Chain A
């Protein structure tokens, strides 16, 4: 759907943000873009929807370059920004003004999402808190039924029940074939159960671009109840229940080592492991993807 080939971008000369980034956003996947503050996650999201022009390389939706702002492409994409700006009008007028641009917009879906988020349809957008604005824009984004949803920190400002509803809505949104969701976030605990594919930016590069399934084949995430930390771990973090340890699966198997209580892929631990020992994590992933 969205394909990038050797994408390079900088805001000012000499201040390169992204360098030679190549990736592909496929349908029926939920992507998570992770990275430290200022690494370029928001920039990448904006490049994906054509809001920024790359210095070199290409980013396209099918065969159409994103920066051409083709209406046919844009009507298939909706971006939820970190701090949505809504006009000072009523919600009903906002829907009347904006929904006609999206051919697949569903008023019933909009009403359903608003009801779950506990936001009344008879409100004035000016009087909303940031969290409520987020709920409105998320409801609208989901109700457009576009093929690609791009979300920058979508759970920022949401309350606990809002986050729970968000996860439910994204899961049900993906039940329709041919859709993709891309989420840029620091709030991993809010979305880790949703993600199918992880992209990690570091320096100016996209260093990790792998599915959860591949990460699971490459690495073991274990919980060790007290006792000694096993050998050959990539990363270990103490937790109330013991140690959470990340190990190279192929080495554990090759050496016939015991596997303790194996956990599902823990994205936060994976990210921390990558930060501490990027070479070993990349080596483990490469070995499996070959």
Chain B
């Protein structure tokens, strides 16, 4: 007896597409708008007369918080599908599919959507950098600290996709896959943890987390008197960096796997409707 019926997964994917395509389009528009706003803020803050470190903190944190919190929130509402009340959970539980089939279909949907949003980000990032000489000259320095840009080298004159470049830098590629896997697992767990009012709770939680991390970094950098940029070197996806070669992919892969397992078992607990 097979664990997974592929036709059930196909039916689940079709069902999700029919029920949620408007949501995905609106999510894409919101996400793109948020990135554009982040880029505009980025440009404005560069033009202000702030200390370099402060500028960097503001730009980095805001950009990070906006882009990734939006990704988290969008993925959060995507993972379980729309469960807003007992009736919608009942509709879900009465689908004649196994738990594993449903979970698998959600992984496929979330991974496809997540990669689509990353692609939108990369395209906008590329366009932003390509147009940046119009208003600033040092945007590349700021944006290069995000590994996605570095991976596809959209911040340089290289084309958006360059197969040979990616092959040469496959170490960074697997780093990025590991990071994405870890983030996706985290988002899946968060959305199963907050099945009701998912987007609001995940947004609030991650904004609070981002703010907390930012404050912590500022405090640490002030106390220990080092540049915050030094911390990002830990995740430098250069293949010469010994730490990132093993620690980063292993750490994120293990964390992602842990979150996925926790999500699966947490999802089982959701089936107790009277606790919802």
Spell out A's residues near B (CB within 8 Å): 11, 46, 49-53, 67, 69-72, 74-75, 77-79, 81, 83, 85, 87, 89, 93, 96-98, 100-102
Name the residue on A nearest B5 (C-beta).
Answer: A71
Q: How far is the CB of A91 from chain B (nearest CB, A)?
A: 12
The complex places the Cα of A79 from the Cα of B86 at a distance, in Å, of: 14
Query: Which residues on A sit within 8 Å (CB–CB) of B131?
Result: none
The complex places the Cα of A46 from the Cα of B89 at a distance, in Å, of: 12
- Other-chain residue from A53, A70, A74, A93 in contact with B94 (beta carbon distance below 8 A): A74
User: Which of B13-21, B150-158, B179-187, B231-239 lies at the binding interface?
Assistant: B13-21
Take A51-B93, A96-B14, A100-B14 as given contacts and tell me if A69 and B19 are in contact as well, using a CB distance cutoff of 8 Å.
no
Contact B87 A102 (CB under 8 A): no
Take A81-B87, A89-B18 as given contacts and tell me if A101 and B93 are in contact as well, using a CB distance cutoff of 8 Å.
no
Looking at chain B's contact residues, is the secondary structure mostly helix, strand, loop, or mixed? Answer: helix
The complex places the Cα of A50 from the Cα of B90 at a distance, in Å, of: 10
Q: How far is the CB of B135 from chain A (nearest CB, A)?
A: 43
Contact B90 A51 (CB under 8 A): yes
Asked if B227 is at the interface (CB within 8 A of a chain A CB), the reply is: no
Contact A11 B274 (CB under 8 A): yes
Contact A101 B95 (CB under 8 A): yes
Asked if B222 is at the interface (CB within 8 A of a chain A CB), the reply is: no
- Other-chain residue from B11, B87, B88, B94 in contact with A49 (beta carbon distance below 8 A): B94
Contact A51 B94 (CB under 8 A): yes
In the complex, 28 of the A-B residue pairs with CB atoms within 8 angstroms, ordered by the A residue number, are A11-B274, A46-B273, A51-B93, A51-B273, A52-B273, A53-B271, A53-B272, A69-B93, A69-B98, A71-B98, A74-B94, A77-B94, A81-B87, A81-B90, A83-B87, A85-B87, A85-B91, A87-B19, A89-B18, A96-B14, A96-B18, A97-B14, A97-B19, A100-B7, A100-B11, A101-B8, A101-B97, A102-B96
Contact B96 A97 (CB under 8 A): no
- Other-chain residue from A52, A71, A87, A93 in contact with B97 (beta carbon distance below 8 A): A71
The complex places the Cα of A97 from the Cα of B93 at a distance, in Å, of: 15
* Residue from the set B7, B96, B99 with the largest chain A CB neighbour count within 10 Å: B96
The complex places the Cα of A83 from the Cα of B85 at a distance, in Å, of: 13
Asked if B172 is at the interface (CB within 8 A of a chain A CB), the reply is: no
Contact A97 B18 (CB under 8 A): yes
Beta-carbon contacts under 8 Å, B87-122 to A: 87-88, 90-91, 93-99, 101
Query: Which residues on A sit within 8 Å (CB–CB) of B91?
Result: 85
Contact A75 B96 (CB under 8 A): yes
Contact B95 A97 (CB under 8 A): no
* Residue from the set B8, B15, B272 with the largest chain A CB neighbour count within 10 Å: B15
